[in-house]
Amino acid sequence: MSLAQRAMEHRLLAPVYQRVWRPAWFLSAMAFDVPHFLHEREKAVTALRLEPGDRVLDIACGPGNFTGDYASAVGAPGLAVGIDLSRPMLTRALVDNAGTGAHYVQGSAHLLPFADGSFDAVACYGALYLIPDPFRAVAEMIRVVRPEGRVAVMTSVAPDAVRRLAQRAVGPAGLRVFGPHEVTERLEAAGFGEVSQETHGFFQYVAGTAPP
């Protein structure tokens, strides 16, 4: 297990992840784009085009910090499921982000325990860069979203000129820095339309609509 994932499994990280760890690390990687950071969760709901009654899956949900917002957006007739490998993170999700009707499952992004086309929307925020086989995880996202459903990803990115250097810096911890087109090209190759990409510092937000 990589150093990064070992940290995610540590029982002392989960309680401080949402309020301390994420703002500290993510804001610095976003070049302190505070206005964007503060609206990240509502932007995710918009990117996924969530409607009341939708079924939404949050892959690598951590302490459910986005899953809770997804659950509020889809309401009681809908279904919001967060899946993560880390038991301490999921325990925290049940404490902090379950009141909204979110459900949590322990499992791997590499092999999602859901049937093809089960969800109207599938998200993976802040995690693809530490998943050992990220493109297998992307293939799983594509598998479980329904035709014309939405997929949204937030992960690392760097321009080609600095990517090798950045990868050398974070690689030993088990983190990956994606090239500018690696994620968008996967979705386009799978027939996705309306593929969008927004970059904030070393993070990118990619979304797209599954083919009919």
Contact footprint for ligand SAM (CB under 6 A):
5, 8, 22, 60-62, 65-66, 84-86, 89, 108-110, 125-127, 130-131
Q: Other C-beta atoms within 10 Å of 27: how many?
A: 17
Residues near 124 by beta carbon (within 8 Å), at least 6 away in sequence? 58, 59, 60, 109, 137, 141, 152, 153, 154, 155
Q: Other C-beta atoms within 10 Å of 169: how many?
A: 12
Q: Is the dihedral of CA 154, 159, 162, 163 positive or negative?
A: positive
- Phi and psi at 62, nearest 5°, equal 55, -135
CA 71 to each of CA 50, 60, 80, 103: distance values in angstroms, whole numbers, following the listed order: 10, 16, 5, 9
Angstrom distance (rounded) from CA 207 to CA 132: 21
For ligand SAM, which is the closer residue by CB, 50 or 212? Answer: 50
For ligand SAM, which is the closer residue by CB, 22 or 146? Answer: 22
Shortest CB 149 distance to ligand SAM, Å? 19
Angstrom distance (rounded) from CA 16 to CA 23: 10
15: exposed, middle or buried (C-beta count within 10 Å: 0-12, 13-18, 19+)?
Answer: middle
Shortest CB 120 distance to ligand SAM, Å? 19
For ligand SAM, which is the closer residue by CB, 199 or 212? Answer: 199
Shortest CB 109 distance to ligand SAM, Å? 4
Shortest CB 84 distance to ligand SAM, Å? 5
For ligand SAM, which is the closer residue by CB, 8 or 144? Answer: 8
For ligand SAM, which is the closer residue by CB, 62 or 211? Answer: 62
For ligand SAM, which is the closer residue by CB, 155 or 209? Answer: 155
Shortest CB 59 distance to ligand SAM, Å? 6
Shortest CB 211 distance to ligand SAM, Å? 25
> Token pair of 120, please?
């109207």
